[in-house]
């Protein structure tokens, strides 16, 4: 059906006439604005935890814009890459600023995304009906890690080169296909010009396209089911209070209320972001490692090779998997299978399947080198996040109404994650190895035992309406 043109008064303002002209010729854009902004009702009790989603979108835009300007002068050539970065820093007008904004933006992206995911964990934003929103979000996190890793190689400094060498060689630990897979990723027998060109192509074109598609899917899925809130109460459900027009009484239009809310968050973020860019762009060697200001030298290995801080919790888990640790993991698998077979109320067929899977898993763990299982654990630490909607069996969503001791479990999880991140930066030692092994067991125990511990205790009564506390 053809779109009907809307008439406007001849006495209307110039702005109204221009808006009407565009709306008559591009109604889809205006409909999208109404659906996702002015007529999208969000819970009225959002707190500061809800600014990190919009901040993630802001940082994505910053990274794309600064990346475009960097590509104008960067040369993806092993012989010229480091010099091209130096040229950007020293000779391109404002090049140093663009480069520092981009490098700081990479770390800022992960800070914002980690806080955004933690908010989802606190308030149960992954629970029904938002499982798909969470899955898209975890896929964004995976794509972001791939994008950051590939971008990390591009400056072609010492840590870029040797960090990529270590991480790519991990794929060689995969049985049967590992060596060929590592060769395919590198494009050569060592990290070199072919690797740089591959990573440049993926960093600039392929992964950003996937990332943008996932961000759009994440937002559309969110707006289809509606936003969660700190109380975990559905404001648009069949029993939720609504006015005569069907609008939720516990909601407010996203625009202008939460656009202003987010603008405040953006101002605070840009203040802190600018302080880092102008006064501490290396951030003590965590955002830009000092070894990366030295050109890549395949003949000189740095004394300690570690990835950037946002990968270090997972790198720490990788290093925690030693031959000794494998026996602990085998014991964990045996105990879990024993509980499933002898203590659970599962059907006999399922119990038999659990026993068979456990035996096969233990046999593989004994037969295959610990290095491979370290890679599995590192990847599993991210993949397990996808299963979170089905692991949490608590009768309430929000941490506000769960038993108080749940808060301590979450607090210990956060501290454990930070400690793992710190240990991933430090050179390996026997003491740090033991701590990282305990931390790895707690990280996976937090998720794998969640179906059990999330049901323990008596939850507090959940109110019928959202509770609003101005801040």
Q: Annotated binding residues for a ubiquinone, as ranges?
A: 223
Beta-carbon neighbour count of residue 227 at 10 Å? Answer: 21
Annotated binding residues, as ranges?
A: 102, 116, 203, 218, 223
Give the whole-angstrom CA distance, residue 258 versus residue 50.
10
Of 25, 33, 32, 19, nearest to 4 (Cα)?
25
At residue 248, what are phi and psi to the nearest 5 degrees?
Answer: -65, 130
452's CB contacts (< 8 A; 6+ apart) are none
How far, in Å, CA of 134 to CA of 173, rounded? 31
CB atoms under 10 Å from CB of 263, counted, come to 12
Contact criterion met (CB below 8 Å) for 171 and 371: no
Instruction: Measure the CA–CA gap between 60 and 215, rounded to whole angstroms.
Output: 10
């Amino acid at each position: 059906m053809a779109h009907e043109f809307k008439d406007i008064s001849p006495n209307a303002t110039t702005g109204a006439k221009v808006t009407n002209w565009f709306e008559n010729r591009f109604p889809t854009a205006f409909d999208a604005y109404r659906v996702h902004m002015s007529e999208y009702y969000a819970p009225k009790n959002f707190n500061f935890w809800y600014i990190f989603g919009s901040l993630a979108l802001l940082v994505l835009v910053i990274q794309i814009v600064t990346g475009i300007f960097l590509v104008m002068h960067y040369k993806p050539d092993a012989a010229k890459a480091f010099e091209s970065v130096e040229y950007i820093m020293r000779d391109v007008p404002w090049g140093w600023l663009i480069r520092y904004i981009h490098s700081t933006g990479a770390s800022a992206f992960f800070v914002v995304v980690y806080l955004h995911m933690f908010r989802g964990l606190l308030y149960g934003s992954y629970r029904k009906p938002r499982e798909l929103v969470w899955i898209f979000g975890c896929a964004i996190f995976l794509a972001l890690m791939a994008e950051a890793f590939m971008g990390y190689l591009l400056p072609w400094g010492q840590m870029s080169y040797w960090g990529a060498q270590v991480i790519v060689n991990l794929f060689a630990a995969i049985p049967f296909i590992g060596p060929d897979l590592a060769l395919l990723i590198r494009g050569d027998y060592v990290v070199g010009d072919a690797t740089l060109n591959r990573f440049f192509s993926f960093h600039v074109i392929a992964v950003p396209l996937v990332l943008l598609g996932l961000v759009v899917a994440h937002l559309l899925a969110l707006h289809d089911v509606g936003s969660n809130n700190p109380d975990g109460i559905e404001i648009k459900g069949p029993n939720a209070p609504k006015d005569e027009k069907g609008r939720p009484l516990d909601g407010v239009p996203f625009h202008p209320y939460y656009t202003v809310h987010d603008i405040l968050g953006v101002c605070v973020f840009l203040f802190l972001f600018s302080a880092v860019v102008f006064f501490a762009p290396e951030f003590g060697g965590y955002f830009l490692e000092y070894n990366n200001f030295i050109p890549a030298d395949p003949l000189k290995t740095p004394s300690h090779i570690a990835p950037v801080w946002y990968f270090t919790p997972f790198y720490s888990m990788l290093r925690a998997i030693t031959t000794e640790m494998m026996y602990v993991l085998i014991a964990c698998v045996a105990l879990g299978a024993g509980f499933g077979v002898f203590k659970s109320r599962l059907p006999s067929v399922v119990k038999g399947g659990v026993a068979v899977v456990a035996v096969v898993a233990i046999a593989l763990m004994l037969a295959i080198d610990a290095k491979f299982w370290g890679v599995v654990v590192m990847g599993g630490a991210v993949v397990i996040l996808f299963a979170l909607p089905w692991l949490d069996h608590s009768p309430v969503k929000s941490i506000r109404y769960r038993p108080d001791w749940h808060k301590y479990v979450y607090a210990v999880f956060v501290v454990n994650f930070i400690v793992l991140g710190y240990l991933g930066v430090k050179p390996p030692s026997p003491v740090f190895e033991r701590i990282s092994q305990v931390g790895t067991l707690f990280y996976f125990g937090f998720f794998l035992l969640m179906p059990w511990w999330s049901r323990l205790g008596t939850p507090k009564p959940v109110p019928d309406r959202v509770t609003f506390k101005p801040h």
